């Protein structure tokens, strides 16, 4: 079974799926002196839609803006799949505040790559873009109301429910 760690580039801790404490800093696991994980889930987009990147580059070079549909500029293929599967759009990395979080995440990935790590943004590598609300929804857990200080009771119930529901793909220790 793979060992996973999850963290958010904004520094907020998320529960680890190991006995180690959750991340509290913006540094990737490779720099933290922690036991290495097989996979590291990062709750942030790993990039922007290709049409958006091209549009910004074109505008920067010539002040011309393409005639692309706004939805094509706002949402990545990943976002469209989430919409198809869950019936709701995730935040747009190009037009919502999550863009700042994405910038932090890609900076961390770039720094990790500069130290020799291979970065595969498709999810096939060690670092994986995660979307907790989508995962909770697919697993049939409450996927709203768990964030922030007001969501502490919902988070506590989620952890309890996760521990009670047997799953061959998840192992929680007493410290989790």
User: What number is the average pLDDT over the span 36-60?
Assistant: 91
Structure-model confidence comparison of residues 123 and 10, the more confident one: 123
pLDDT digits (tens, 9 = 90+) for 76-116: 999 999 999 889 899 999 999 899 999 999 999 999 899 99
Contact (CB, 8 A) for 5 and 17 = yes
Using CB atoms within 10 A of its CB, is residue 92 exposed (0-12), middle (13-18) or buried (19+)? buried
pLDDT of residue 55: 95
Using CB atoms within 10 A of its CB, is residue 47 exposed (0-12), middle (13-18) or buried (19+)? middle
Q: How many whole angstroms separate alpha carbon 159 and alpha carbon 172?
A: 10
User: What number is the average pLDDT over the span 128-141?
Assistant: 87
Cβ within 8 Å of residue 108, ≥6 positions away: 9, 26, 27, 28, 42
Q: How many whole angstroms separate alpha carbon 17 and alpha carbon 56?
A: 38
Element (H, E) at 72: helix 70-74
- Extents of the domains making up the chain: 1-39+100-123, 50-86, 132-176
Residue 26: pLDDT over 50: no
User: For the chain, what is the mean pLDDT?
Assistant: 79
Q: In this structure, what token pair is assigned to residue 117?
A: 């790590």
The partner residues of 4 in beta bridges, in order of sequence, read: 39
């Amino acid at each position: 079974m793979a060992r996973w760690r999850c963290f958010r580039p904004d520094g907020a801790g998320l529960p680890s799926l190991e006995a180690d404490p959750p991340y509290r800093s913006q540094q990737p696991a490779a720099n933290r002196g922690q036991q290495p994980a097989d996979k590291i889930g990062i709750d942030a987009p790993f990039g922007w839609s290709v049409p958006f990147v091209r549009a910004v580059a074109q505008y920067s070079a010539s002040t011309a803006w393409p005639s692309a549909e706004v939805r094509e500029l706002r949402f990545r293929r990943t976002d469209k799949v989430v919409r198809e599967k869950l019936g709701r759009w995730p935040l747009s990395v190009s037009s919502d505040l999550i863009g700042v979080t994405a910038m932090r995440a890609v900076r961390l990935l770039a720094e990790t790559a500069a130290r020799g790590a291979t970065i595969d943004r498709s999810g096939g590598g060690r670092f994986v873009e995660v979307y907790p609300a989508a995962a909770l929804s697919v697993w049939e857990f409450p996927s709203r109301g768990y964030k922030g200080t007001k969501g502490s009771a919902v988070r506590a119930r989620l952890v309890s429910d996760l521990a009670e529901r047997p799953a061959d793909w998840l192992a929680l220790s007493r410290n989790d």
